[in-house]
């Protein structure tokens, strides 16, 4: 019985030739993300900003978003955020944080008075300033410590050049993932932190697979040029990479389409993250080894201008 092959076993595709395109592209996207983060910022959810979130369901089955936004902004509590959810007639309203419990109570009283006739209140969440501040601090600390732990693992897991390449790839994936949040304006909440940490793990997994093969081939071949060695590493693991990426992406696509609004943001970011991590392992982490100067047995490897077929170590 012939097994399914999504990538040829004896592939010799030259991935490294694209590095002159992918490096500037990744650099531009990373710098743009940093600029957008400083100027535009993330769309922080109620978990981090504090305030009151109300989910409404239109009794008639059809919601008037413009009318709800006009009414909510007329309460005098500041500008409210109103968006239509995936379900027909569903609306999400976010009211700004008010001072004290009386302020939050006043928000809910006015909301019920204005919307009870036409909408059912399906969900109500209130987060105070102290809770939101603690969540910001705890969430940021958790992400930073997790990333530092991953980077330390990579540093001790691989030789210097391989470790630096893996670190560059992991940081690249984190930055571009944050860029997805900024561009799409998906709400950044505690679930988003879970998405970032999951993507860090996926990025680490993709990079380790390729670099383990690279280190194995470094011991086997002593005179093969660096570019050929890296191409051989990627081609020999490409079948596994394609299978893993496609199966993960299909699962996430199902969550995006049928998982509902509660996890749609998480699923969309994860789907984009899988694409970013796969791209990064092939076109960022691995090619950067060429510029770092991959070393073998304390001697700099042959320059990429050398030709010839791979020669096994004696």
- Tens digits of residue pLDDT in 254-305: 988 887 766 888 899 999 999 999 999 999 988 888 887 764 433 344 444 3
- State pLDDT tens for residues 17-53: 998 999 999 999 999 999 999 999 888 877 777 778 8
* Short-list 144, 150, 132, CA closest to 190: 132
Judging by DSSP bridges, how do beta strands 90-95 and 119-127 pair with one another?
A: unpaired
The whole-angstrom separation of Cα 192 and Cα 273 is 12
**What separation in angstroms does the CA of 265 have from each of 125, 153, 192?**
18, 29, 8
| Torsion sign across C-alpha atoms 142, 174, 287, 248 | positive
pLDDT in tens, 109-154: 888 888 888 888 888 877 765 555 666 677 778 778 887 887 788 7
DSSP 21-67: HHHHHHHHHHHHHHHHHHHT---B-HHHH-EEEEEEEETTS---HHH
pLDDT at residue 252 tops 70: yes
pLDDT number for residue 174: 92
DSSP for residue 122? E
Q: What is the CA radius of gyration of the chain?
A: 25
Domains and CATH numbers, the chain: 16-43+132-300 (1.20.1640.10), 51-127 (3.30.70.3400)
What are φ and ψ of residue 25, in 5° steps?
A: -60, -50
DSSP letters, 163-199, are: HHHHHHHHHHHHHHHHHHHHHH---BSHHHHHHHHHH
Q: pLDDT by residue (tens digit) across 49-79?
A: 777 888 888 888 788 888 888 888 888 777 7
Torsion angle in degrees (nearest 10) through CA of 173, 177, 180, 186: 170
Cα distances (Å, whole numbers) of residue 307 to 37, 223, 229, 304, 314: 45, 10, 12, 8, 19
Q: What pLDDT is recorded for position 4?
A: 62
Indicate left, alpha or beta for 185 from its phi (over 0: left) and psi (-120 to 50: alpha).
left
Q: At which residue do the structure tokens 């090619």 appear?
A: 287
* Integer CA distances (angstroms), 172 to 48, 164, 188, in order: 25, 12, 19
* Helix boundaries (H) for 42-159: 46-49, 65-73, 100-115, 129-157
Contact 220/312 with Cβ under 8 angstroms? yes
Q: For residue 94, which phi and psi values (nearest 5 degrees)?
A: -115, 120
273 closest CA partner among 251, 293, 257, 303: 251
pTM confidence score: 0.75
- Judged by DSSP in three states, 94 sits in strand
User: Which pLDDT belongs to residue 308?
Assistant: 43
**Residue 67 burial by Cβ neighbours in a 10 Å radius (0-12, 13-18, 19+):** exposed
pLDDT value of position 229 = 87
């Amino acid at each position: 019985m012939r097994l399914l092959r999504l990538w040829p076993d004896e592939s010799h595709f030259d991935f490294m030739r694209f590095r002159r395109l992918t490096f500037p592209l990744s650099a531009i996207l990373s710098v743009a993300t940093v600029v957008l983060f400083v100027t535009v910022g993330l769309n922080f959810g109620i978990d981090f900003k504090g305030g009151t979130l109300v989910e409404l369901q239109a009794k008639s089955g059809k919601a008037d978003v413009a009318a709800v936004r006009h009414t909510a902004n007329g309460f005098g509590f500041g500008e409210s955020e109103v968006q239509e959810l995936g379900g027909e007639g569903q609306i999400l309203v976010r009211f700004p944080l008010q001072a004290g419990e009386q302020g939050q109570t006043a928000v809910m009283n006015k909301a019920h008075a204005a919307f009870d006739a036409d909408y059912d209140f399906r969900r109500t969440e209130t987060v105070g300033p102290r809770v939101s501040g603690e969540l910001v601090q705890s969430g940021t600390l958790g992400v930073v410590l997790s990333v530092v732990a991953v980077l330390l693992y990579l540093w001790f897991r691989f030789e210097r050049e391989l470790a630096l390449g893996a670190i560059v790839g992991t940081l690249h994936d984190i930055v571009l993932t944050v860029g997805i949040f900024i561009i799409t304006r998906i709400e950044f909440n505690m679930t988003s932190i879970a998405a970032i940490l999951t993507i860090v793990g996926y990025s680490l997994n993709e990079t380790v697979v390729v670099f383990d093969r690279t280190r194995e081939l470094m011991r086997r071949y002593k005179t093969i040029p660096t570019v050929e060695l890296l191409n051989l590493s990627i081609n020999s693991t490409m079948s596994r990479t394609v299978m893993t990426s496609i199966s993960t992406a299909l699962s996430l696509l199902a969550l995006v389409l049928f998982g509902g609004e509660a996890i749609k943001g998480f699923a969309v970011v994860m789907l984009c993250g899988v694409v970013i991590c796969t791209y990064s392992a092939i076109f960022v982490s691995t090619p950067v080894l060429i510029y770092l100067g991959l070393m073998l047995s304390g001697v700099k490897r042959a320059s990429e201008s050398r030709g010839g077929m791979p020669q096994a170590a004696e």
